[in-house]
Amino acid sequence: MNSVRMWYEKTGLTVYTSHLDMNRCFTRAVRRADIPLWYTEGFNPHPYMTFLLPLPLGQAGVREPIDIRTEGEISNEEILRRMNSVLPEGLSIVDVTQPVDKVNTIKYARYKINLVFASKGEAEGFAAGVTAVTEQGELMAEKRSKRGVVKVNLCDFIHSFEARDEGNTAAIDTVLLTGTEKNLNAGLLVDSLCAEFAAQPEKLSITRTDIYKDNLIIFK
């Protein structure tokens, strides 16, 4: 049995695919690709496959990890080739490696967020406003937790935040707490910022670009 970490990209219309459907899609893909997966034991054997940090609905990712276990002899390069021959448009395997870090070491994630407005003035005003709010250090919102819905200060979950206007687009580069202990959905952050300024962007995109351990060391 070999442990393998596949890194996939999720773009285009596939961002609207739920995590459950993503699981089904990849399960079908590894079977079609004839990857010799290791199956769990017991009364209901199933192929071992774990999404380490599932993407929320509507968000893209450029290097997202999935762990699988294989049997027999198959190279990482062959897994990549076979998977990309069967995955649908919008999903692709960008790398296949041996797992280095454990999932519980994930602490942060970087997001690129673009909000397109009707005018440059709206984008400029929004970028300036959200910068001021995050620098001030208080943005209250309701967040789901194990204890139910609680009101929290989202700024406590922000490691870094930069917003700038690029024409009629407000571009945000932010690093948020992400992991098993503390995490912030980038979508909740955007919704709360838009509500704070009654902003109505014409278009929104959220892309997770990197996953980190402590001290912003890249998760491998």
pLDDT at 50 over 90: yes
Q: At 44, is the pLDDT very low, low, confident or very high (cuts 50, 70, 90)?
A: confident
> Longest C-alpha distance within the chain, in Å?
62
pLDDT score for 40: 79
- Residue 129 corresponds to which amino acid? G
Q: Distance between CA atoms of 92 and 145, rounded to whole angstroms?
A: 32
| DSSP classification of residue 47 | B
pLDDT score for 184: 95
pLDDT at 146 over 80: no
Q: What's the whole-model pTM score? A: 0.94
Decide if 196 contacts 136 (C-beta within 8 A). no
Domains of the chain from N-terminus onward = 2-99 (3.30.70.580), 105-216 (3.30.70.3190)
Mean pLDDT of the region 93-104: 97
pLDDT digits (tens, 9 = 90+) for 112-124: 999 999 999 999 9
Reported residue count of the chain is: 220
pLDDT at 41 over 80: no
Among 180, 162, 176, smallest CA distance to 211 is for 176
Degrees, nearest 5: CA angle 208-55-100:
75
Helix, strand, coil percentages (3-state) for the chain, rounded to 5, are: 30, 40, 30
Q: What percent of the chain has pLDDT over 90?
A: 88
